[in-house]
Amino acid sequence: MQLRRLGRSGLVVSEFALGAMTFGMKDWGCDEQTAIDLVDRYLDAGGNFLDTADAYGSSEEIVGRAIKGKRSQVVLGTKAGLPTGRGPHDRGTSRLHLVSACERSLRRLGTDYIDVYWLHLDDEATPLEETVSALDDLVHAGKIRYVAASNMRAYRLMKALAIADRIGAQRFVAFQGQYNLITRTLEREHFGLLSEEGLGFVGWSPLAAGMLTGKVTPDAGNAGTRLGQREVTVDKLVKNERGFRITAEVRAIATELGCSPARLALSWQRTRPITSTILGARTPEQLDDNLSALGLDLPVEIVERLDRLSEMPAEYPGAFIDMFQGWLRGDITSMSAGSHLA
């Protein structure tokens, strides 16, 4: 498994991270012993990057027990921001919540420090200055090593980076977001921003909540799958007509190559500008299949086929801006594109 620097930081993480949202999760997750076995299996395969959150039920406690005696082998990331209680300060990215949430996570994880502390969700009701400053204080207190963001609009992410630069606070070293063959919308604004600002990208839901495994169908109950046991807004981004069309083609290509749809989808991820992809396995068999993507190098024509299959529709203003870029660079062969506006 390749190791890569997380953005411009000195932190090195494996190309596949192990997500712990399934740990202890009722119905579609796994029990504690299975979770511990998954961590051991992942570390043995050369991985070092674990991802959890305070909003994932008992996940942090299980992760803490799973890495006991192995803390130095792990780059440990957790998140704060989603609701963890009913109180007004049991959510969001205020100074009050972030400081107390961090302290609780440290206790649950059984560690003195968190390597990467992620904002789980942008809290647009709290001034970014307060959030950035609070994270900086946690770094200086030695409780966290690096700060990062997740699920944030591009303009807000850029604003947070500018605030950090202005006040001399710790900058985000990475951004985490949903990215897969069905959901590629981060390519519109975020990827360019991350490249220019030097942030690493960590992708979650690479199998689109299980859609890309081919197990989810439009007309079945889908028992035993995550999408079959819950109905939340974010799932509707993948569980739709476009998602089923892409999944059907992924299954067909996987059959041609003699591999599982999951292995194919994860191999495609490795061709993208991604620092690390979070695996969300809940059984040893799923993890083994996911990790087998490391040994599958896709032919160029298959990558291009998948790219075309999942290509996003043109959208303003990006499509309009792209139409003129060659012209603005002085490429005379592309000048005819805008000649009608003269």
Contact 84, 59 (CB under 8 A): no
What does the DSSP 8-state code read for residue 8?
Answer: T
For tokens 């994860």, the residue is 266
- Strand 3-5 and strand 12-14: the pairing is antiparallel
3-state secondary structure of 39: helix
What does the DSSP 8-state code read for residue 83?
Answer: -
Spot the catalytic one: 42, 56, 117, 146: 56
Contact 128, 161 (CB under 8 A): no
Cis before 317 (ω within 30): yes
C-alpha distances in Å from residue 266, one per residue of 149, 195, 255, 278, 328: 23, 22, 15, 10, 37
C-alpha distances in Å from residue 29, one per residue of 21, 50, 68, 227: 8, 16, 21, 12
For tokens 């992620």, the residue is 118
The total number of residues written for the chain in this structure: 342
C-alpha distances in Å from residue 79, one per residue of 6, 68, 93, 135: 17, 20, 11, 12
Max Cα separation, the chain? 69
Contact 20, 50 (CB under 8 A): yes
Query: Residue 189 class from Cβ within 10 Å (0-12 exposed, 13-18 middle, 19+ buried)?
Result: middle
What does the DSSP 8-state code read for residue 271?
Answer: T
**117 tagged catalytic:** no
CA–CA distance, 76 with 68 (Å, rounded to integer):
12
What does the DSSP 8-state code read for residue 242?
Answer: H
Contact 298, 38 (CB under 8 A): no
Cite the active site residues.
56
